[in-house]
Amino acid sequence: MRLKNPNLAYEALAQHYGWALQKVFDGLDPSFPQTERVIILEEDIHTSPDFLGFMKATSKLLDTDPNLFAVSAYNDNGHMVGDPGDVQRIVRSDFFPGLGWMMNRRLWKEELEAKWPKGYWDDWLREPVQRKDRHILRPEVSRTFHFGNQGGTSANQFGSILGRIKLNKENVDWSNLDLSYLSQDRFDQEYSKLVGQSTLAHSVEEALKSVESQNTKIEYNGIDQFKDLAHRLGIMEDEKAMVPRTSYHGVVEMRPLGNRLLFLTPPT
């Protein structure tokens, strides 16, 4: 069912989010004790066995790294992570996915509370003036799965992909994992090396052959070429504020055939 006036629905949703965040972070209502962090889940989301463990482990990074904006349990291209994908891997991203995410009190009280939008809160959070070049942590293999396919404010806009997102089934013990590789300097160095050492392909067909045996990259020039390549590869094509979904410094990754990574990247 498509809503007759989706603008009103988005406005109501944003107002509800703003009210709830204010209640939780103010701590003035006995029903909502003040907290330092909040995890936001819609009602039509399944979570993985290690969802809370993932959030707890990354909460320490969120609180101490000034270059982090939020943590999300979702990968917008989570249908392209191989089988089963690297269930212990977390990456930094410039794109805010939502769909099971965490923010802290500092961000709300010092920045967002005074200017919370009247509608379209998720796209608003993706705007440069809010994100301020900060990053979002997300897992390679999603810890949430969006199962709603009727009604809703978005009218199931990306249903063909949402229904194929792989939800992690393993109970990863995040408390025993070393996440120091996610510090920005180390992550940037190692990720740049990973992409830079990948084999350059000059077409989708060449890339899909190459990625059978080695990490591979395709370079794109501009958002229009990115969208064309994304469409042909079957990943999310859209962008918000000129940031493609899941991207980090313009790089979008996937595992289309198995264990090897395929990158769409600006010229390196």
CA pair distance 18, 139, nearest whole angstrom: 26
CA pair distance 230, 237, nearest whole angstrom: 5
The answer to whether residues 76 and 190 belong to one domain is: no
Which of 147, 162, 180 corresponds to the end of one domain?
Answer: 180
CATH code for the domain in which residue 67 is found: 3.90.550.10
The answer to whether residues 97 and 61 belong to one domain is: yes
Q: Tell whether the model's pLDDT for residue 149 goes beyond 90.
A: no
The answer to whether residues 24 and 67 belong to one domain is: yes
The answer to whether residues 44 and 76 belong to one domain is: yes
- The whole-number average pLDDT for the span 112-133 is 97
CB 158 within 8 A of CB 94: no
Which domain range does residue 217 map to? 183-268
- The whole-number average pLDDT for the span 191-210 is 98
- 3-class SS at 189? helix
The distance between the two most distant Cα atoms of the chain, rounded to a whole number of Å, is 61
The answer to whether residues 151 and 190 belong to one domain is: no
Q: How many Cα atoms occupy the beta-carbon half-sphere of 231 within 13 Å?
A: 7
- The whole-number average pLDDT for the span 39-57 is 96
CATH code for the domain in which residue 258 is found: 3.10.180.20
The answer to whether residues 58 and 6 belong to one domain is: yes
CA pair distance 44, 206, nearest whole angstrom: 39
Q: How many residues does the chain have?
A: 268
> Which residues does the annotation mark as catalytic?
122
More confident position, 115 or 34 = 115
- Residue 142: phi and psi, rounded to 5, are -60, 145
The answer to whether residues 63 and 139 belong to one domain is: yes
The answer to whether residues 176 and 188 belong to one domain is: no
Q: Tell whether the model's pLDDT for residue 6 goes beyond 90.
A: no
Position 28, amino acid: L
The answer to whether residues 170 and 192 belong to one domain is: no
pLDDT at 4: 55
pLDDT at 150: 45
54: CB partners within 8 A, 6+ apart: 48, 73, 139, 143, 172, 174
In 3D space, the residue among 201, 186, 189, 188 whose CA is nearest the CA of residue 262 turns out to be 201
CA pair distance 49, 256, nearest whole angstrom: 25
Averaged pLDDT score across all residues of the chain = 93
* DSSP conformation class of 111: I
The answer to whether residues 176 and 189 belong to one domain is: no
* Per-residue pLDDT band at 55 (split at 50, 70, 90): very high
CA pair distance 243, 138, nearest whole angstrom: 15
* Per-residue pLDDT band at 170 (split at 50, 70, 90): very high
Give how many domains the chain has, as a whole number. Answer: 2
CA pair distance 166, 210, nearest whole angstrom: 24
Q: Tell whether the model's pLDDT for residue 156 goes beyond 70.
A: no
CA pair distance 92, 5, nearest whole angstrom: 35
pLDDT at 161: 87
Q: Tell whether the model's pLDDT for residue 121 goes beyond 90.
A: yes
The answer to whether residues 141 and 193 belong to one domain is: no
The answer to whether residues 153 and 257 belong to one domain is: no
- 3-class SS at 140? coil
CB 62 within 8 A of CB 104: yes
Lowest-pLDDT range, 39-43, 80-84, 205-209?
A: 80-84
Q: What is the pTM of this model?
A: 0.92
